[in-house]
Amino acid sequence: MSLSSQNSTGVRPRVALLGRFTESASALRFRGVVSARMLLEGLWAAGLDPVTLLPTADSSDWHERLKGFDGVLFAGGGDISPAAYGELPDSEHLYDIDDVQDANDLALMKYVLAEGIPFLALCRGMHLLNVALGGTLNQHIEPPHRHLTHDVVFEKAWDEFGLELPVVTSSCYHHQSVARLGTGVRAVAYSTDGCVEALTVDGANGVAVQWHPEDRWEIDPDQLAIFKKFRERIG
pLDDT digits (tens, 9 = 90+) for 15-64: 999 998 887 666 767 788 889 999 999 999 999 999 999 999 988 899 99
Residues in the chain: 235
Number of other residues whose CB lies within 10 A of the CB of residue 115: 14
Q: What pTM, to 2 d.p., does this model score?
A: 0.92
Angstrom distance (rounded) from CA 133 to CA 191:
23
Domain ranges of the chain: 6-234
Beta bridge partners of 225: none
pLDDT at res. 8: 47
Angstrom distance (rounded) from CA 77 to CA 95:
10
Position 129 pLDDT exceeds 60: yes
Q: What is the pLDDT of residues 132-169, one digit of tens each?
A: 999 999 999 999 999 999 999 998 767 889 998 899 99
pLDDT at res. 97: 92
Q: Which residues are catalytic?
A: 123, 212, 214
- DSSP state, residue 233: H
Q: What angle do CA 111, 113, 119 make, to 5 degrees?
A: 100
Position 1 pLDDT exceeds 80: no
pLDDT at res. 48: 98
Position 6 pLDDT exceeds 70: no
If one looks up domain 6-234 in CATH, what number appears?
3.40.50.880
Q: What is the pLDDT of residues 76-116, one digit of tens each?
A: 999 999 999 999 999 999 988 999 999 999 999 999 999 99
Q: What is the mean pLDDT of residues 2-24?
A: 73
How far are the Cα atoms of 18, 167, 230 from residue 107, in angstroms, in the given order?
11, 33, 21
pLDDT at res. 234: 96
